[in-house]
Amino acid sequence: MSANLQQSTITTAQAQRRPFLGMRHQRLAQRVMVYALLLALSVLFILPFMWMVSTSLKNSEDVFTYPPSFFPTTFLWQNYPRGWTILPFNTFLVNSLIVTFANVIGNLISCSLVAFGFARLRARGRGILFLALLATLMIPREVTIVPRFLLFSQMGLVNTLWPLILPAWFGYAFFIFLLRQFFMTIPTELDDAARIDGASSLRIFFEIILPLSKPALATVAIFAFIGNWSNLLDPLIYIRSQELYTLALGLNLFRGQNFTQFNLLMAVSIITLIPVLTVFFLSQRLFVQGVTLTGMGGR
Amino acid sequence: MGGGFDRLSPRPSRWTRQAGASTGSALVHPTTVQVRFGHCENGHDHDFTVAGGCMAIQQQIEQPAARPMGKPKLGKLARREEREFYLFISLWIIGFILFDAGPILASFVISFTNWSMMTPPNWTGLQNYQRLIADPLFYTAMWNSLYFGIGSVGFGLIISFLLALLLNQKVLGISVFRTIFYLPSVVSGIAVAILWIMILHQDFGLINTVLSWFGIKGPGWLVQPQWAKPALILMSLWGAGGSMVIYLAGLQSVPQHLYEAASIDGAGPWMKFWNVTVPMMSPVIFYNLIVGFIASLQGFVLVLIMTNGGPANATLMFGLYIYRVAFQFFQMGYASALAWILLVVIMVITALQFLGAKYWVFYEGETVR
């Protein structure tokens, strides 16, 4: 009872004080809390990267000392060239570049054409086709991998880079959706004016829509780049000969052969991540925009 | 108004389009399905409505056609436009038939055979499905995938939402923090798998090192069956930044006046959170739950590298099991049957989520019940 009373007097006292000082203090305290939490979480999120770099610079003994030290006692930069030359990683790099760029270009061309159709041209059946397009995003990959494999083996394309490249040239629902969303923000008045001047749909597509959609196209290019660069499943299924290995597949082979050499594994892993990280840092804004434009992560 | 629930006008012109782009929605050809998604105009102004997007999806599913299809008489121009439409999307249609619809039907047919790729297939009827019912690994794999899916999506939701709330506090250096949290979700694939094999290592791993500072002896994350799935969930949480960005955009599009109104009514921060933020964000959360869950049921490449399903099948995910049956045992028929079950399970779960959503997802423009 008395405790209750005390409580209520305190709260009224606080309430009276609030307009002068309390509020400001409270805000400050809240601010400090937010920053403390953010900093702590940032450390948690960055720590694995630091660990990666630190391990890549350790010598073989340091990797397996107990308890492990966070900082390497040596800075063995030669781990990087050493790891890279154990397997023909240069060949793998070239294959990865071929596959990735073929995918990026294929996606840009096919998806922008299709997205233009869905965004700008009226036709019966468009709505149902658009639903079918979105539905393909929900289909588990496992349902299609077996028949796709059979298809490509019928075509004699197993153990070539084609199965990794061809599908991108026939559109990908996520990118089509993203581009369509963007195209719809471009005022139709521009198309109408061009049409009155006698422009064809193809011309409107090339001369009005595409030039105005550079940010969206860049976003698609970035997503396609990053998605394909780290793709392991398809190479694993389709590629047999080592001279056709992509970086991801090569790294997998490397891991199988040098399972305990964590320093070399980390060094090569970091090299394979460099292109992705570079692209990300150069184009962060587009990235975030792409994610929010569709409400989907780019994975 | 961000994905408001405006109706078709009674007599729409053939090509009705909403005035400003900022409304985040556009009406399409009235005789076809009404499709509407949110969007944002540029990177700075997050006048963005994932909410609108989710709503549109649900709307499409609940009311497939905006109005009964008549037999519209098309003029010459309209017919030309229709031809052009099909020309523009022809690449996708070919791809859809070759790589999506065709394979789905094919795998359905294959699931009734015993095809091994070496010998011609024999029709075996329901044998694959009978085998599946009696296959203990089928249940193990399904349970593992559901465990991982629920765990990673549930904890992922909490963490990414928390991060988004923190970043929404108008903090200085928001873009730096955003980059830090988002970065791990960008890197993926085998490099990440190798990194986490090391982080989770029983004796020399980062996590157990940190735990040892507090006098805790960490478990053998990837070698003890009871810890393997939690370890994978932990790893998936590192990528929570991906959905954080989506939540952040959603938070920034909640109209400020709702908070002001709540303040006037005497609501504290907690009340505001539960009565304004959560309902306004529920479509975004809902959407992320569906997409995240489907994705988590599918991903198995990391698992393939990190544990290959072990220890003691504790991480044998459903996708991994299909991959194994198909590409290591070459039992294409059985693999196809498993894949079809997965498809059905995903459809059922998605349908259940949509049904459940009625009770907790709030779409702007709905009247408050």
Chain B closest CA to A233's CA: distance in Å? 6
Q: A254-263, B242-251, B353-362 — which is least confidently predicted?
A: B353-362
List, in order, residues 6 or more apart from A112 with CB less than 8 Å away.
A179, A205, A209, A210, A213, A217, A220
For chains A and B, CB pairs below 8 A equal: 319
Which pLDDT value is given to residue B72? 56
The predicted model gives B82-92 an average pLDDT of 94
H helices of A88-232, where? 89-120, 126-135, 141-154, 162-165, 173-183, 188-196, 201-204, 210-212, 214-229
Beta bridge partners of B123: B113
Testing the interface with B: which of A142, A186, A191 to mutate, by most B Cβ within 10 A?
A142
Rounded distance between C-alpha atoms, residue A93 and residue A63, angstroms: 27
Which pLDDT value is given to residue A17? 46
Which pLDDT value is given to residue A12? 47
Q: A41-55, B55-69, B313-327 — which is least confidently predicted?
A: B55-69
Is residue B253 less than 8 Å (CB to CB) from chain A?
A: no
Phi, psi of B157 (to 5 degrees): -60, -50
B246 closest CB neighbour out of A113, A237, A292? A292
B199 closest CB neighbour out of A48, A114, A136? A48
Dihedral sign for Cα B316, B322, B323, B328, please: positive
Chain A residues whose CB is inside 8 A of the B209 CB are 67-68, 70
Residue-wise pLDDT tens digits, B317-352:
999 999 999 989 999 999 999 999 999 988 888 888
Total-model pTM: 0.79
Which pLDDT value is given to residue A253? 92
Which pLDDT value is given to residue A94? 96
Binary contact (A176, B15; C-beta < 8 A):
no
DSSP string, A90-106: HHHHHHHHHHHHHHHHH
Binary contact (A121, B84; C-beta < 8 A):
yes
Phi, psi of B203 (to 5 degrees): -100, -35
Q: Judged by CB atoms within 8 Å, which residues 171-200 of B form the interface with A?
A: 171, 175, 177-191, 194-196, 198-199
Rounded distance between C-alpha atoms, residue B97 and residue B143, angstroms: 32
Best CA proximity match to B361, nearest among B58, B12, B122, B104: B58
Chain A residues whose CB is inside 8 A of the B286 CB are none
Rounded distance between C-alpha atoms, residue B192 and residue A252, angstroms: 12
Chain B residues whose CB is inside 8 A of the A18 CB are none
Rounded to the nearest integer, the mean pLDDT of chain B is: 77
Chain A closest CA to B367's CA: distance in Å? 25
The predicted model gives B69-76 an average pLDDT of 64
Q: What is the pLDDT confidence band of residue B357, given thresholds at 50, 70 and 90? A: confident
Quick one: closest CA in A to B43, which residue? A289
Best CA proximity match to B251, nearest among B25, B37, B46, B40: B46
Is residue B252 less than 8 Å (CB to CB) from chain A?
A: no
Which pLDDT value is given to residue B60? 44
pLDDT at B88 over 90: yes
Which pLDDT value is given to residue A204? 93
B190 closest CB neighbour out of A237, A251, A297? A251
The predicted model gives B51-80 an average pLDDT of 54
With pLDDT > 70 as the criterion, what percentage of chain B qualifies? 78
Rounded distance between C-alpha atoms, residue B245 and residue B43, angstroms: 12
| Cβ A92 vs Cβ A246: under 8 Å | yes
Q: A140-144, B55-59, B169-173 — which is least confidently predicted?
A: B55-59
Q: A48-57, B167-176, B216-225, B307-316 — which is least confidently predicted?
A: B167-176
The predicted model gives A50-76 an average pLDDT of 82
Residue-wise pLDDT tens digits, A79-90:
899 989 999 999
List, in order, residues 6 or more apart from A4 with CB less than 8 Å away.
none
The predicted model gives B9-30 an average pLDDT of 34
Which pLDDT value is given to residue B9? 32
Q: What is the pLDDT confidence band of residue A291, given thresholds at 50, 70 and 90? A: low
More confident residue, B174 or A14: B174
Rounded distance between C-alpha atoms, residue A171 and residue A113, angstroms: 9
ipTM of the complex: 0.81
Angle in degrees, CA B44, B178, B285, rounded to 5: 85
Best CA proximity match to B145, nearest among B263, B353, B321: B321
Binary contact (A117, B84; C-beta < 8 A):
yes
A147 closest CB neighbour out of B106, B196, B301? B106
More confident residue, B154 or B121: B154
Residue-wise pLDDT tens digits, A179-190:
998 898 888 888
Q: Could you tell me the domains of chain B?
A: 1-69 (no CATH), 80-110 (no CATH), 133-360 (1.10.3720.10)
Instruction: Tell me the two tokens of residue B315.
Output: 């991480």
Dihedral sign for Cα B29, B30, B31, B35, please: positive
Chain B closest CA to A181's CA: distance in Å? 6
pLDDT at B48 over 50: no
DSSP A71: S
Chain A closest CA to B231's CA: distance in Å? 14
Phi, psi of B292 (to 5 degrees): -65, -40
Binary contact (B167, A46; C-beta < 8 A):
no
Chain A residues whose CB is inside 8 A of the B343 CB are 139-140, 143
Q: What is the pLDDT confidence band of residue A294, given thresholds at 50, 70 and 90? A: low
Which pLDDT value is given to residue B59? 41
Query: Residues A71-87, buried b or exposed e (16+ Cβ, 10 A)?
Result: ebeeebeebbeebbeeb
Is residue B323 less than 8 Å (CB to CB) from chain A?
A: yes
Rounded distance between C-alpha atoms, residue A9 and residue A12, angstroms: 5
Chain A residues whose CB is inside 8 A of the B181 CB are 41-42, 45
CATH class in words for A80-294: mainly alpha
Helix axes B102-110, B332-360, angle to 10 degrees: 120
Q: What is the pLDDT confidence band of residue B45, given thresholds at 50, 70 and 90? A: very low
Which pLDDT value is given to residue B150? 92
Residue-wise pLDDT tens digits, A86-123:
999 999 999 999 999 999 999 999 999 999 999 999 99
Q: What is the pLDDT confidence band of residue B290, given thresholds at 50, 70 and 90? A: confident
Chain A residues whose CB is inside 8 A of the B65 CB are 127
DSSP A139: S
